[in-house]
Structure 1
Amino acid sequence: MKGWVKIVLLIVIIFICVGSFYYLMFSSLFEGPAPISRDSYLQLDIYGELPERESPEPLSQIFAAQVPVMGELLQSIRKAKIDDNIKGLIIRPMGLSTGWAKIEELKQTIEDFKTSGKKVYVYLEVASNREYYLALSGDTIFGSPEGLLFINGLLGGGYFLKGTLDKLGIEAEFIEAGKYKNYPEMFTRSGMSPAAKEMLSTILDDIFRRYLQEIEKSRGVSARRAKELIDKGIYSLKDAYKSGIIDTLMYYNEFTEFLKEKERSRPGIVSYSRYKEIPFSKLGVKAKEYVALIYAVGSIVSGFGGDFFEDGLIVSENMAKNIKKATEDKSVKAIVLRVNSPGGSGIASDIIWKQVKEARTQKPVIISISDVAASGGYYISMAADTIYSQPSALVGSIGVFSGKFSVKGLYEKLGINKEEIPRGKNADIFSDISLFNDSQEELIREIVMQSYQDFISKAAEGRKVPAAEIREIAGGRVWTGEQAVQNGLIDKLGGLEDAIRSAKIMAGISPDTPVKLKVYPKQRSILEKLMSGGLQARTDWLKNMLPAHIIRYARGFLFYRDYEPLLLIPFVPEIK
């Protein structure tokens, strides 16, 4: 490359970095949110995974589209409820890939918004089960005349890689505690075990039952008719209108004309990206007391480092440090831990559990489960005062496994010969060219069973029940939130707002008194992000290689150690 080209590229990079720095650091000082005109409608374009909070990537905050974020969506709807300038909501769902529990929480928040007497209009173009489930919370469902609707029921499943590993010459060997702790089946079987099928079937049955009930209630049809609509499944929106699945057909520009005629004026349509910048204080809401909101999102891994947010990872020391900060902060009256985790390292989970337990001795600690708090995700939750979950969240999975892979066959296929000389009877226990011998397998089994018994005893302590009761519902089994309320693994059904309300009551604050949220872990500044890739940089390559629902579970594998017990949700339950 010529010298002048290098100089130009360097200047461009410096310009982008400096410009990004000033944009993020100073734009908020000079630009306040634009005022909202009266009789406006807040439009929420809801799509994608709905991450819990904004990405810590500084450049994506500048150049990427305004991706809808779960926390900001919930806050925006709550603000709109009390904002006299907002006449109603326009919901436009499309391409949702999030879990069912987040959709339920959005529905719950929209239903609460409707108690203000304001209207909610939903506009569909192409929709599947998730989009339609959310649409059922609207007062009126509009459809594009040439749109499509796919409400063909739920499909659950997972990936099984044994055939692939056999072809590669890789052998997997795992020891698990719990009949349903079948995460290793992904590597050791070519299909689901009877236990896995049983567990997934009960989860699907529970979610599907609620889906049908929502159709019955919202569309005013019988249970039989709701099932018939699902069994047909695929509709043009014209046919959906004729079948009573949606309320009316019109193009979006006709929809805006409808609003104009209804309001006898030209109502403003306010975007999510604009409205989320308006603070509650602009609406006359004044808060003096603080509640800490701590996000525990991603796979749980052991590690050191600062107290920054790592997208997709819960780092043990990082999380424990943030919980301790919130505990020692005298201005913080209570802690709400927002958990969305499939689990991970047993050792890391225990470190976080201990910090939650210590925090609880000094101030109320409430758990708000998002889509999943299973295995290690449940472990870090079970020491809290109260646990909230949506009905379709995935909860529990009290079980442990450990093991390794032997790649000797792969080496042979590649013409690689690896030789090892051990010193010590079990020096080769985690060798990558051999499986466990009988005595080594027994050693690993002892560690796994000890971790399992420890998990059960701590769950019993947290739930204040005999260990025998926990053992009956453990075994690695995953439950829905509604099932978990019934068997005692969690306390109540509800979302983040319910958890905050409970935290206020336990802290002696009136439930109707506004509070400020101190959010942990903090986001990196642009300079901190540019100067340090952090743990996140080691997992970014996954984004372009794997489906989104697998990435949430796979990131942690770059950090797990061969010998440690793992607390992970069984396989990867994708429910479409």
Structure 2
Amino acid sequence: MSHPRALPSAPLRYSFALLASLCVLLPAAPARAALPTYEEESSLLSSVPGTDDGSIAAMLNPAQWGNLERSETSFWWSDRQAAGHRREDYGVSLGRTLGFSYRHRMLPAPGGARGVGDYQIGLGWSDPLGAGGLSYGFSGPGRSAFDRKNFLALGRIVRPFPWLSVGSTGRIASGERQGLLDLGLRPLSDPRLLLFAGYALEPNRHWDHGDLSGGVAVRPIPGLEAAGRWSEHDRVQLTLGVTLARTGFRAHSRYEHSDRAATEYVVRMNPPVRGMDPEARLLARRRFLEMDLKGEAAYQSYRYFDVSSLPLRRILDDLTLAIEDPTVAGVAVNLSGFDANIEIVWEVREKLLALRRAGKKSVVYLDRPGAKDYYLATAADRILMDPFGMLTIPGVSTTKTYLRGTLEKLGLGFEEWRYFKYKSALETLSRRDMSEPDREQRADLVRAMYEEMADGITSSGRMSRAQYDLTVNEEPALMPKRLLELGWIDAIAGPDSLREVARSVAGRRVAFATPRSLRLRRCQPDEVWGPRPTIALVYAIGECAMDTGIRGRTTSKALKAFRERRDVKAVVVRADSPGGDPLASDLLAREMRAYRPSGKPLFVSQGRVAGSGGYWISMDAGRIHASPFTITGSIGVIGGWIWDEGLGKKLGMTTDRVQMGKSADLLGGLILPLIGLQIPERNLDDRERVVVKRGIMDLYDEFTTHVAQGRGLPVERVREIAQGHVYAGRKALELKLVDEIAGLDRTIEEAKAAAGIPRGRRVRIEEYPRQRLFRLPSLPGSVASRLGLGSRDGLAAPVAPERRTYEEQGLRSMLMSPGIPLLLTPASLLPDEPVAR
């Protein structure tokens, strides 16, 4: 695993040293200049190369190619004409990261003005402190008349603070060296006011005989700029510019000894400056965002060729764009094939409600929805249902399958080590029916989920609570005509009618935009100097295990690295885990505990389940956020023992051993071929049970003590509400086990605020684990590992864990680590998703 490194410092010193050597150690130049002078080159700039971001400045400082966030193309020409009415100066510069420029000029030469074309190919890169770049320049026809030589340029721009920019460039060509150092100051720490200065050292000059220039640039409103630049020898340049959306225009008027020499005109496509937004007025609320949510909601998708995953953050970000974009009147959402657990559904629904609060409309299409799909749809203004669809809404239940009889038939014995009232994770193996404490907490969860969904659905005003309860109990499946009669939907129509209904809701003619087009429209350049703050988003998903699930071994190292990195201003952990191995849980908890003295904010956003070991990794966060549908708590420890009670005899298998130590035989036993599991030969004796109980009680004491410290509660109070009891999100808030009912995006925003990042400041979200490139074919684990295709540390793309795998994870944890106390939440506590869907 490779963790992001701290900000580089040595490379910066080396680059400045190299530039200094290019600028200072200047040998004697030939009779004619092989390099154009800075004065010739800078006529297209409003300030200096290190501050006038864009492809034109990249011709003087190639680091600007690395500064660009999107590709820019610039054209220019001069109003000054040479003999024959030919333009004296024109050209083009374009690119991002990789750049190209061409500039044609008419220059004085023996026998009259001659033309020469100068070309450059550049490469730029960015880093947390700024950008660097290099370029290669050469000339075309006419080069011999001016003794033009090919050159190599190296550039660097450093912006350590929002108010400071330092740029430097060095060029070398056939013995000639040329250097430039420039400085930019923003007294207001934003683009409204810029003070700049430059120092150019031409060939054949001593280091203290360079040309000095300077000036001021103002941008009173986005899209409007004015600048004045002075240089030695009584030269002045005035610039006026305007940028509309993605197109900019500039005029640079040069004066020499108070006489106008020429005016350069520049047209810029995709300039790296914020422009005026005429669409905000001309197309105000005249677009509808179309969203097709067919696929499986996940926390991360694969980077390429993954058309089936819907990353949660992308869905939420697209809806946020619709809320904030003044041209958007609403959204039209196709929910056919949307597969998500109820917690993710709640987060998406909250965004649709925020859209409504912003005065915008939403239209939703359904085909065969379950309760949770309809719950999501009721946040919309209009609901369409397919003519052949059906709503299934029978209520909420939670079912548990018991395997004691199965184990007996197989010849396996099982003993549950349960010392806490509600810690029922292993009941499925030890009982034939539900214990009363387990029934009690399950009833609480089912009631909480039913009430939350009922309140949300009835708050839409489509039915009363009494009508809802009656329908659930008397008509658990409803056809479209019946739903239309009840007023639960607004129209019976196919997905092709979404646009027509959207126009009707908008009350005017509207255009339709895709999420991608909206992202491109709202992708404005980040003109703030200084390292962009980073928020780390760490996914702790699945069982608490060392090398699978939450990956305690590598995720703990990532948390440590993020704590030590200066550019990471806050960390958000998304916890969606039923628990498991306490060692893996505590590896994360220890690193999270270390954030408190560091002062760096660390928040936890809990997903569908964050119980037992999932709560262990949450308890030391600065703040814990959960949804109403989150299952959390389960503060307790449990364990169990499975042994051969006739299985070997049924299979015709026997074992034999040699041992030293009374309990050494507990580590051996029957090994099942092909499966690879080892089944102990006997149960524990009374002496061994005493040892196990002591270990479980010690771990429980440590668990409750850490919860008390992390949550600021008395230990006695924690032990009163613990005992392995699970809670739904709102009850957990009441008990102070969580701090707020909020989703992932709200957690990220609050983490930014806690880090002191101004509202609206663009940040970089760095996810861990990193996205994998593409989905590999499914292979058995042993085959995949032998082929080197197993999931590598830090590269897994976690999706929202499925309920059916939690039972398997718990059983596997017990079989692979016999006798180890477990921090495990019963998987079957999750209400049955097929019923609640």
Kindly indicate whether the alpha-carbon contact (under 8 Å) linking 1:485 and 1:492 is maintained by their aligned counterparts in 2.
Answer: yes
| Structure 2 residue 400 is matched with structure 1 residue 164 | no
In structure 1, what residue type is equivalent to 2:413?
Answer: E
* CA positional deviation for 1:497: 2.0
1:373 equivalent in alignment to 2:610: yes
Aligned: 1:299 with 2:546: no
Write out per-residue CA displacement over residues 402-446 of structure 1, whole angstroms, 9 at most, x where no aligned residue.
222113421111111123333101112344121111111221111
Would you tell me which structure has more helix in proportion to its own residues?
1
Q: Distance in 2 between matches of 1:571 and 1:121?
A: 35
Cα shift at 1:29: 9.9
Match of 2:534 in 1: 290
Instruction: Find 2:682's aligned residue among 424, 427, 434.
Output: 434
Displacement of 1:97: 5.1
Equivalent in the alignment of 1:234: 477
Higher RCO (CA < 8 A, seq sep 6+): 1
The answer (yes or no) to whether the contact 1:158–1:571 under 8 Å persists in 2 is no
Specify the SS of the correspondent of 2:318: helix
CA contact (8 A) 2:807 2:826 kept: no
Distance 2:316 2:521 in 1: 13
Q: Pick the structure with more strand per residue.
A: 2
**Percent same amino acid among aligned pairs?**
28
Task: Report the counterpart of residue 17 of structure 1 in structure 2.
Answer: none
CA distance in 2, matches of 1:548, 1:53: 15
Q: CA deviation at 1:479?
A: 0.2
CA distance in 2, matches of 1:218, 1:416: 64
Which deviations, in whole Å up to 9, do the C-alpha atoms of 1:27-74 show, x marking residues without a partner? x999xxxx9x9744333333565221114xx7xx42x53321212211
- Structure 1: how far apart are the matches of 2:502 and 2:378? 20
On the 8 A contact 2:635/2:704 being kept in 1, the answer is yes
1:248 aligns with 2:495: no
Is it true that 1:406 corresponds to 2:648 in the alignment? no
Quick one: which of 33, 44, 50 aligns to 2:297? 50
Correspondences of 1:52-451 after superposition (within 5 Å): 52-55=299-302, 61-62=304-305, 64-94=306-336, 98-231=340-473, 232-259=475-502, 265=509, 267-268=511-512, 270=514, 274=516, 278=519, 282-283=523-524, 288-303=532-547, 313-362=549-598, 363-431=600-668, 432-451=680-699
Give SS of 1:43's match.
strand
One-letter code of the match for 2:767?
V
In terms of mean alpha carbon deviation, does 388-397 or 253-262 score higher? 253-262
Say if 1:402 and 1:563, in contact at 8 Å, map to a contact too: yes
Distance in structure 2 (CA, Å) of the matches to 1:266 and 1:96: 26
What CA distance in whole angstroms lies between the structure 1 residues aligned with 2:292 and 2:425? 35
CA contact (8 A) 1:186 1:571 kept: no
* In structure 2, C-alpha distance between the alignment counterparts of 1:96 and 1:192, rounded to whole Å: 33
RMSD value, Cα: 3.0
State the SS of the aligned residue for 2:297: coil
Which has the greater radius of gyration? 2
Indicate the larger mover: 457-466 or 172-181.
172-181
Partners of 1:344 and 1:253 in 2: how far apart? 47
Deviates more, 1:440-449 or 1:418-427: 418-427
Cα distance change of structure 1 residues 96 and 482 upon mapping to structure 2, 3 Å threshold: farther
CA offset at residue 285 of structure 1? 6.8
- In the TM superposition, residue 527 of structure 1 has moved relative to its aligned partner by 12
- Is the contact made by 1:94 and 1:131 (CA closer than 8 Å) also made in structure 2? no
**CA offset at residue 286 of structure 1?**
6.7
Conservation of the 8 A alpha-carbon contact between 1:45 and 1:68? no
Find the aligned partners of 2:741 and 2:363 in 1 and give their Cα distance: 26
Q: Give the AA of the match of 1:251.
A: G
User: How far apart are 1:108 and its partner, in Å?
Assistant: 1.0
**Which residue of 2 is the match for residue 20 of structure 1?**
none
Map of 2:744 onto structure 1: 496
Check whether the contact 1:404–1:430 (CA below 8 A) recurs between aligned residues: no
* CA positional deviation for 1:224: 1.3
- Is the partner of 1:218 in helix, strand or coil? coil
Structure 1 residue ranges without an equivalent (≥5): 1-27, 304-309
What residue is the counterpart of 1:549 in the other structure? 803
Change (3 A) 1:522 1:505: same
SS in 1 for 2:309: coil
* 2:416 counterpart SS class: strand
1:516 pairs with one of 761, 764, 770: 764
After TM superposition, the score normalised by the length of structure 2 is 0.58
Aligned residue type for 2:570: A
Going from structure 1 to structure 2, the CA distance change for 1:101 and 1:258 (only over 3 Å counts) comes to closer
Shift of 1:284: 5.8
- Shift of the alpha carbon at 1:528? 11
Cα deviation for residue 574 of structure 1 reads: 3.8
Contact 2:537 2:768 in 1 (8 A): yes
**Is 1:572 aligned to residue 809 of structure 2?**
no
Aligned equivalents of 2:686, 2:527: Cα separation in 1: 66
Letter in 1 for 2:486: S
- 1:213 and 1:70 map into 2 onto residues whose CA distance is 24
- 2:605 touches 2:744 (CA, 8 Å); kept in 1? yes
Distance 1:172 1:412, change over 3 A: same
Aligned counterparts of 2:568 and 2:776: Cα–Cα separation in 1: 26
Tell me the TM-score normalised to structure 1 length. 0.83
Structure 2 regions of 5+ residues with no counterpart?
Answer: 1-95, 99-269, 271-278, 669-679, 778-783
Q: What residue number does 2:677 align with?
A: none
Quick check: 2:332–2:364 contact (8 Å CA) kept in 1?
yes
Counterpart Cα distance in 2 of 1:265 and 1:54:
36
Give the letter for the 1:294 counterpart: V
**Contact kept? 1:289, 1:331, Cα under 8 Å:** yes
Secondary structure of 1:301's counterpart equals: coil
Cα deviations by residue, 1:454-502 (Å, 9 ceiling, x for unpaired): 1111101101111110001111111001000001111111111221222
Q: CA deviation at 1:85?
A: 4.7
